[in-house]
Structure 1
Amino acid sequence: MPSDEYSFSDDPARIDRHAISAFLMAHAYWATWRTHEDISAAIDGSWRVIGCYDRGGELVGFARAISDGVNFGYLADVFVLPAHRGNGLGVQLVTEMIENGPGRTFRWMLHTADAHDLYRKFGFGEPNSSLLERASTRG
């Protein structure tokens, strides 16, 4: 990926909430039930956000994290717009969030139904017997 093609930023003021909402509500199996207000509130409640931008400054990828800021992080809402996939942007988004950010020593968690190979590159694996989860009660 040529460095001049895309840039990454953790500036929350720079992200395009409408572009994020449009993608998540229409294309993300994990978020199609959410409203723009839900997504905006989730962004506001996030510990850190990473935006990926094309040369023109348009948001083409996104990731956010929830954290206590000390030892735990939950990676959420990672996506790259279809027209920009195949350029390593998903890997770079996760790298920026996990490896290059203030949470590089955290215990990280996430849920995914289809991107296991991507996350295994960062050490994610099946949970051990110490992890318990309460599933959502939302339909």
Structure 2
Amino acid sequence: MSIQILPFSDKPIKATDVMRLYEDAGWWPERGEGDIEWMLANGQSVGAWDGEALVGFARAVSDGKFRAYIEDVVIHSAYQRDGIGAQLVSRVLDDLANIDVISLFCEQHLIPFYEKSKFRHSKSQYVMHRIRR
């Protein structure tokens, strides 16, 4: 298997392909195709490709200087545990090399995965969400 990790600028990502990954992961059923197209056009994203099939995706939200957040690191279940997630995170981190603080939110069982990329668990901060409904 030869997986290519490419930024959106080198190989555009279709919203429907991202939606398939979200569905496979059980994520974001409320996100519509138009909103995902907007997200892709207005942010930084990276895809993992097996030929023409999108098998992994990650994106970053940033102010371009001080802060960035890695979001939506998702790998199709048939491709998990092959190092694709680590490659996606590495590529996003390379693209954010000029940013002072890079953060992310993850489930507890993923902390060891992100620690390999030098993220550190912070017990002094609490995740708070305000969700528009």
Give the superposition deviation at 1:87: 1.3
For 1:1-139, what aligned pairs fall within 5 Å after superposition?
5-12=2-9, 14-24=12-22, 26-46=23-43, 48-54=44-50, 56-98=51-93, 100-101=94-95, 103-106=96-99, 107-113=101-107, 114-127=109-122, 129=124, 131=125, 133-138=127-132
Partner Cα separation in structure 1 for residue 91 and residue 112 of structure 2: 18
| RMSD of equivalent CA atoms | 2.3
Give the superposition deviation at 1:133: 5.0
Aligned 8 A contact 2:21 2:75 in 1: no
Aligned 8 A contact 2:69 2:102 in 1: yes
Runs (4+) of structure 1 moved beyond 3 Å? 27-30, 131-134
| TM-score normalised over the length of structure 1 | 0.78
**CA 1:109–1:29 in structure 2 vs 1: closer, same or farther (change >3 Å)?**
farther
**CA 1:38–1:110 in structure 2 vs 1: closer, same or farther (change >3 Å)?**
same
Partner Cα separation in structure 2 for residue 53 and residue 117 of structure 1: 25
Partner Cα separation in structure 1 for residue 34 and residue 110 of structure 2: 26
**CA 1:111–1:127 in structure 2 vs 1: closer, same or farther (change >3 Å)?**
same
Give the structure with the larger helix fraction. Answer: 2
Partner Cα separation in structure 2 for residue 43 and residue 16 of structure 1: 8
Give the superposition deviation at 1:10: 0.9
Greater relative contact order (Cα 8 A, min sep 6): structure 1 or 2? 2
Give the superposition deviation at 1:74: 0.4
Give the number of equivalent residue pairs. Answer: 130
Identity %: 26
Q: Which runs of 5+ in 1 are unaligned?
A: none
Aligned 8 A contact 2:61 2:69 in 1: yes
